[in-house]
Structure 1
């Protein structure tokens, strides 16, 4: 009997020892002692891991018996570090000299180890779950074709009009491709969404309008002789406590195509982050759809977070996709619980693979447009890969007065639902349109970079029935025009005969230094009548080095997009140039998004070089 008791005590003490943990913290830097963000820090031969923050810091909770941590990041050699008695471990990573194929394979294996069963990971300030990046065939992914904007001759077409775009899905989707060792499809790269993924430090509105505008003019970094015009819009920021109450309906795709770890399981964790931001005055309903649609959670106050999270935990994937039926039920719930002067919104989470019910885009668009007019907006969160239907999702979000984001990992979910909670869900100005009239005295030709699917006819600028983009609390919008100065002999311009009857005498425009007039129309969230304001912009260029971080970083992202698209307008663009300029414009970069951008550019450069080498061979 005594021997049995002793044995039990031995096992109990052993189990207690194994369960004891300790916290290890440290900083990861490169060879130049610069902090590295998003380094995977993992306990060797386990699934316990975390990532470094924007300052290279990490914190990880591990068993007391643990002996070794591994540090992994694309472009750097994986490092193993032995643990001693101290609770601090600082590490320096060296640039990898190994073949990219091996490096990416190793990185993906680390992700699979980390994420196979939703490992709980601790960072300095928060805990989150890691999704599994599944490897799938890409043939069934759909993207709308993009025909790049060309140069327009200002003397023949002086006016340009487009809708603002605060969607950021293209950037996170592009990141997903690069992080799995693939160059993104050309049509997956929407340059305006890549630029607008990042926040910019524009001045807040101070006058009667909820939008402030700033402009800068400099030399084009990739096309010598041309100019680059930078336009920045800043929406008024409203503190969360002052935002109107929300009536939100989660519309969740639980069809069979959502079973992968980076779809429904990641979706659950993402929506839980949003639930944590809710206030008692907010209400949440949950509708799911697969072979049929159903209400999983009746309207529930934001204070009942456990109830809402339990409803999310109970979701399972299986069946075909009746997207249309689900949307109709979600809109019905939103209408039945409509909050006057509140934020009434359906948030659809899906991989876009609608195949049962109202499957035609025309019918869905008419449904969504009708509900938009009733004051119920639609936001869409895309998940997954392999059968991802970007073309379908983008169109529906545009028609629903909502934003469209692609969630490739839990950090992206945190960006959408925690850091940018107000901008994601609360509209400050709707149907925001921009129209510019260029002065041929200073501008021979111009080209809007991106925004191809946001172009408007000039007469639609005045048409209040024409839908346009929305700006949420604190949102920024950035647009870049490349300009051929008057008198420049650019190879991008084809021969055009001068117009016989449209000549304007110099006395008509005088010797004005105005390069353009910028007009903006917007509507208040509860109004159907637009408000107009305008501002002249002078022909005052300054050197690129003297421009703001906003312009320098935004232009770096644009140049990267031109390279990814292999644009005919890329001129002398290069990855090295993108990296060098981006590094001068990090700013505070508290979340590490800008430093992560540089790592993605390095990955793309390596992939592109390998592709070029393979083609030569």
Structure 2
């Protein structure tokens, strides 16, 4: 959530221009296909989309594994991509379903942080809806909201894939509309550059004043697709331009718009990871906007964003572009804390087993938590982050195998101090390299027999994700149990949560 102190006339003009782009897109939707394809031409149906396989987190014994450590994740691409598939009546690959990104697509009513902290941390325990033998624990973070009129200047490089694979109505034309929407939010303190890549790379605009909207929009709308995809060349040039226009103390960021289908030069996940890891040390962040269907390379786009210290969103409509680039502008572009890590220590005196739901590709070793050289996720202004654990307390009939440790028996018993667990969070301020530690003990007081509104909705999202993945841990979850959870939620006129209810109904899960 963001606030703005802009003048009323200026704000109204910006909103009118953005709404005009959205209205024009709706009017053009039916005719756009004809501009790209002959009406009577049948398009080939083939799918070369790529997703990394996910090995779900399993239950762990608190006797042998009392610590659960992971990096936060504010990406939302998985949800909007899955939504696109369901609405197109397509099968959803299990690798496309990252439950943490589905959870974090939505905003939750967590409290604002204290004045001296970048985010608040809240916890809640409730009965698990899909497993009568476990409890469900929610950990929620809410980064402080900001007044956009007080935001720092932005040095943005629009890095746009104009290769032949982008020659489809849901790719380059949608990219142009998305960046046009973002352009309407800029002002004179911002610097905007545009770099394109196909067979090679080209600098279309460099260091333009953000108030020069007509020049920026003309440059965006002049782009055409064609050629192969030399993405690494474009990335290198974008970093050079960003560094040349670097704003000390500002928001320096590359926004890559692509389907991820890099096929010339550096193109493997490992090569791309090394490339952006080296470049991020200069203080320029890399965020990724994914576009298109049929050949998107989700694995490569996620790798670029995660290792470029940015976020990854999937844009399937101008409304999604408005959500990511305007409504959530602070979260997308304005970092309030970096290298945010969470470590939960479970007390074996009360808890005998647990399972983290999602965050598989964000797992860290216990030692990484206090190691300030280990990279982790960033959180932007107004962002909420949600993590769910399935927990078996000592009343559960579940059993867990653990190693027979000769010297650790006493420690493994835990401490009967009333604390079920402790949630610890490490973070760095955006301009510092030493982490700060916050710790929050969780006692039986965190348990609520009746789920809160947010807890119920998050549980429904997690259930839905497990059903889409056909998870081994879905328990008694069904489409109907998801809908039952949602029927008890007050959605408070939240259009995205209301849309989720419709999405569940439309899905093919049983």
Q: TM-score, normalised by structure 1?
A: 0.75
Structure 2 vs 1, CA of residues 312 and 370 (structure 1 numbering), >3 Å: closer, same or farther?
Answer: same
**Equivalent position SS for 1:517:** strand
C-alpha contact 1:173 1:408 (8 A) present in aligned 2: yes
| Corresponding position of 2:467 | 563
Measure, in 2, the Cα distance between the counterparts of 1:138 and 1:487.
51
| Corresponding position of 1:499 | 405
| Corresponding position of 1:577 | 481
How large is the Cα RMSD of the aligned pairs? 2.1
Q: State the Cα deviation string for residues 473-504 of structure 1 (Å, max 9, x = none).
A: 111100000001114222xx454464332112
Structure 1 residue 574, shift from structure 2 partner = 1.2
Asked whether 1:393 is paired with 2:296, we answer no
Match of 1:534 among 439, 448, 451: 439
Q: State the Cα deviation string for residues 251-271 of structure 1 (Å, max 9, x = none).
A: 000000000000000110011
Structure 2 vs 1, CA of residues 510 and 345 (structure 1 numbering), >3 Å: closer, same or farther?
Answer: closer
| Corresponding position of 1:603 | 506
Structure 1 residue 600, shift from structure 2 partner = 0.8
| Corresponding position of 1:589 | 493
Measure, in 1, the Cα distance between the counterparts of 2:391 and 2:375.
28
| Corresponding position of 2:156 | 248
C-alpha contact 1:586 1:595 (8 A) present in aligned 2: no
**Equivalent position SS for 2:392:** strand
Structure 2 vs 1, CA of residues 343 and 223 (structure 1 numbering), >3 Å: closer, same or farther?
Answer: same
Match of 1:457 among 365, 383, 398: 365
Match of 2:417 among 508, 512, 515: 512
Structure 1 residue 453, shift from structure 2 partner = 0.1
Measure, in 2, the Cα distance between the counterparts of 1:534 and 1:543.
21
Structure 2 vs 1, CA of residues 273 and 586 (structure 1 numbering), >3 Å: closer, same or farther?
Answer: farther
Measure, in 2, the Cα distance between the counterparts of 1:113 and 1:360.
37
Asked whether 1:357 is paired with 2:226, we answer no
Structure 2 vs 1, CA of residues 567 and 136 (structure 1 numbering), >3 Å: closer, same or farther?
Answer: farther
C-alpha contact 1:150 1:447 (8 A) present in aligned 2: yes
Asked whether 1:423 is paired with 2:320, we answer no
C-alpha contact 1:142 1:388 (8 A) present in aligned 2: yes
Measure, in 2, the Cα distance between the counterparts of 1:529 and 1:416.
30
Structure 2 vs 1, CA of residues 239 and 117 (structure 1 numbering), >3 Å: closer, same or farther?
Answer: farther
Structure 1 residue 588, shift from structure 2 partner = 2.1
Q: State the Cα deviation string for residues 306-339 of structure 1 (Å, max 9, x = none).
A: 1101101100000000100000110000000111
Measure, in 2, the Cα distance between the counterparts of 1:495 and 1:333.
55
C-alpha contact 1:442 1:539 (8 A) present in aligned 2: no
Structure 1 residue 361, shift from structure 2 partner = 2.9
Structure 2 vs 1, CA of residues 50 and 251 (structure 1 numbering), >3 Å: closer, same or farther?
Answer: closer
| Equivalences for residues 195-274 of structure 1 within 5 A | 195-274=103-182
**Larger RCO (CA within 8 A; separation ≥ 6):** 2
Measure, in 2, the Cα distance between the counterparts of 1:571 and 1:499.
31
Measure, in 1, the Cα distance between the counterparts of 2:457 and 2:31.
33
| Corresponding position of 2:356 | 448
Measure, in 1, the Cα distance between the counterparts of 2:416 and 2:403.
25
Structure 1 residue 117, shift from structure 2 partner = 6.0
Q: TM-score, normalised by structure 2?
A: 0.91
Structure 2 vs 1, CA of residues 344 and 497 (structure 1 numbering), >3 Å: closer, same or farther?
Answer: closer
Structure 2 vs 1, CA of residues 154 and 138 (structure 1 numbering), >3 Å: closer, same or farther?
Answer: farther
Structure 2 vs 1, CA of residues 266 and 117 (structure 1 numbering), >3 Å: closer, same or farther?
Answer: farther
Structure 1 residue 580, shift from structure 2 partner = 2.1
Match of 2:33 among 104, 111, 116: 116
C-alpha contact 2:25 2:318 (8 A) present in aligned 1: no
Match of 1:550 among 445, 451, 454: 454
Structure 1 residue 113, shift from structure 2 partner = 3.4
C-alpha contact 1:136 1:386 (8 A) present in aligned 2: no
C-alpha contact 1:169 1:193 (8 A) present in aligned 2: yes
Q: Which is greater in Rg?
A: 1
Structure 2 vs 1, CA of residues 117 and 306 (structure 1 numbering), >3 Å: closer, same or farther?
Answer: farther
Structure 2 vs 1, CA of residues 495 and 460 (structure 1 numbering), >3 Å: closer, same or farther?
Answer: closer
C-alpha contact 2:193 2:206 (8 A) present in aligned 1: yes
**Equivalent position SS for 2:177:** helix
Measure, in 2, the Cα distance between the counterparts of 1:185 and 1:172.
14
Measure, in 2, the Cα distance between the counterparts of 1:204 and 1:136.
50
| Equivalences for residues 22-421 of structure 1 within 5 A | 113=30, 116=33, 137=45, 139-421=47-329
Structure 2 vs 1, CA of residues 112 and 343 (structure 1 numbering), >3 Å: closer, same or farther?
Answer: closer
Q: State the Cα deviation string for residues 251-294 of structure 1 (Å, max 9, x = none).
A: 00000000000000011001111111112101110000000100
Structure 1 residue 182, shift from structure 2 partner = 1.4
Q: State the Cα deviation string for residues 432-451 of structure 1 (Å, max 9, x = none).
A: 00001100111110000000
Q: State the Cα deviation string for residues 229-251 of structure 1 (Å, max 9, x = none).
A: 00100111111111110000000
Q: State the Cα deviation string for residues 337-369 of structure 1 (Å, max 9, x = none).
A: 111000000000000000112223333222211
Q: Which ranges of structure 2 fall in alignment gaps of 5 or more residues?
A: 1-22, 36-41
C-alpha contact 1:556 1:581 (8 A) present in aligned 2: yes
Measure, in 2, the Cα distance between the counterparts of 1:324 and 1:596.
37
Structure 1 residue 540, shift from structure 2 partner = 3.3
Q: Which ranges of structure 1 fall in alignment gaps of 5 or more residues?
A: 1-47, 52-59, 61-110, 119-133, 610-617
Q: State the Cα deviation string for residues 547-575 of structure 1 (Å, max 9, x = none).
A: 32111111110000010001000000011
